[in-house]
Amino acid sequence: MAVTMALMTRQHLLTYIYLLVYISLSSGVILYNKWVLSTLYFNFPFPITLTMIHMAFSGGVAFFLIRVLKVVSPIKMTLHIYATCVVPISAFFAASLWFGNTAYLYISVAFIQMLKALMPVATFLVAVTCGTEKLRCDVFWNMVLVSVGVVISSYGEIHFNVLGTVYQVTGIVAEALRLVLTQVLLQKKGLTLNPITSLYYIAPCSFAFLFIPWYILEKPEMEDPHMQFNFWVFFSNALCAFALNLSTFLVIGRTGAVTIRVAGVLKDWLLITLSTIIFPESKITGLNIIGYAIALGGVVIYNYLKVRDVCTSQLQSIRDESAKELQTEKKADDAMDNKEETSWNDSVSETHLDEEAPLISSRISHFGVGRKPA
């Protein structure tokens, strides 16, 4: 008993450590990106370049882990699957990172997190449009609640910037399209990608998509001889981004998607608080807090509805499997009964009857001939 309790305590401790690492990395990467891109701090206002550095680093590490160390096995990828699935997913992934990182140049981290509450709304609308989800009344009004909260929060933003807001909302829509496309294109083909294999296939393709806008928009400005490029800053930044992907995989594997949703809500509040401390120019008003609290309440309800649907679906699957097993057992029992009945009738028909045969037959019939013996 003591050994069991010790093992359970150790497992719980490891789970809390994974969650802490996930929340720290998730918050750290966002704050780090803001610090690198902001003209007030590191002053590297090239979001496409930063995103391409992340993609090159992640793709290189994933290649090393899969092809050299063979930590994870690659999936069976055909040219058709790559062209019809990986390429469109990579395009929206690149767009979501590009627009999301560009928003750091114009609006605060706190306001960005408040706008990210629109993510369930965008995902739901895209899923309904693509036919992967049905338009439900409870979810619809929940999305309206989230949207109202974000509008109130935006109205209370002191340093509201239209361009930054458009960039962030566009990034959210691109991410929603990526998530739905991943479900429609990959899962329907029976393909599952963990973070390492995802980066192995998607990162190089996303890098290629980002190259064209980088060459047009950022390359000319980067030719300035006074531009600073610190290798260790970008290396550590890319390493944190890659570690975040791994931590997400570990947390989901150990706890499940429900826990990571709750951890995400806690992370958002922590990030808003930390951003106002680290970046003093970020100001939060009472209307910001009220609006975000309303939106976050809607997000929590949405998560609850999704978890409830998943649990109902799993329960129904278990019931269907149990019903199939019972039906199979019943068929096996019926087959056995028929076999026994046939052998019993054959044995009776082969019995040599004398002149009292009619009387004996009636008696046997009365005691249950034609049925299996008790």
DSSP codes, 316-342: HHHHHHHHHHHHHHHHHHHHHHHHHHH
Question: Contact, 226 vs 111, CB < 8 A?
Answer: no
Spatial neighbors of 135 by CB under 8 A, at least 6 apart, are 128
Q: What angle do CA 83, 121, 36 make, to 5 degrees?
A: 70
pLDDT in tens, 98-147: 999 999 999 999 999 889 888 888 888 888 888 888 888 888 888 888 88
The phi-psi region of residue 354 (left if phi > 0; otherwise alpha if psi is between -120 and 50; otherwise beta) is: beta
Higher pLDDT, 292 or 316: 292
Q: What is the DSSP letter of 352?
A: -
Does the pLDDT value for residue 149 go beyond 80?
Answer: yes
Separation of alpha carbons 278 and 273, rounded Å: 9
Q: How far is CA 277 from CA 27, 240, 271, 317, in A?
A: 13, 21, 10, 48
Mean pLDDT check: name the lowest of 8-12, 118-122, 288-292: 8-12
pLDDT at site 201: 92
Using CB atoms within 10 Å of the CB of residue 247, give its burial: 0 to 12 exposed, 13 to 18 middle, 19+ buried. buried
Place of tokens 């739901």: 124
Alpha-carbon dihedral angle through residues 185, 186, 188, 193, given to the nearest 10 degrees: -160
pLDDT at site 3: 52
Q: What is the DSSP letter of 373?
A: -
CB atoms within 10 A of CB 368: 11
Place of tokens 């990828």: 77
DSSP codes, 83-133: IIIIHHHHHHHHHHHHHHHHGGGTS-HHHHHHHGGGHHHHHHHHHHHHTSS
Where residue 207 falls among pLDDT bands split at 50, 70, 90? Answer: very high
Where residue 338 falls among pLDDT bands split at 50, 70, 90? Answer: low
Where residue 339 falls among pLDDT bands split at 50, 70, 90? Answer: low
Instruction: Indicate the residue type of 25.
Output: L
Three-state secondary structure along 8-32? HHHHHHHHHHHHHHHHHHHHHHHHH
Spatial neighbors of 190 by CB under 8 A, at least 6 apart, are none
Q: Locate 333 and state its tokens.
A: 């029992």
Place of tokens 């019809």: 84
Task: Please compute the mean of the pLDDT values over residues 38-58 and round it to a whole number.
Answer: 93
Q: Determine what percent of the chain falls in helix, strand and coil, rounding each to the nearest 5.
A: 80, 0, 20
Using CB atoms within 10 Å of the CB of residue 137, give its burial: 0 to 12 exposed, 13 to 18 middle, 19+ buried. exposed
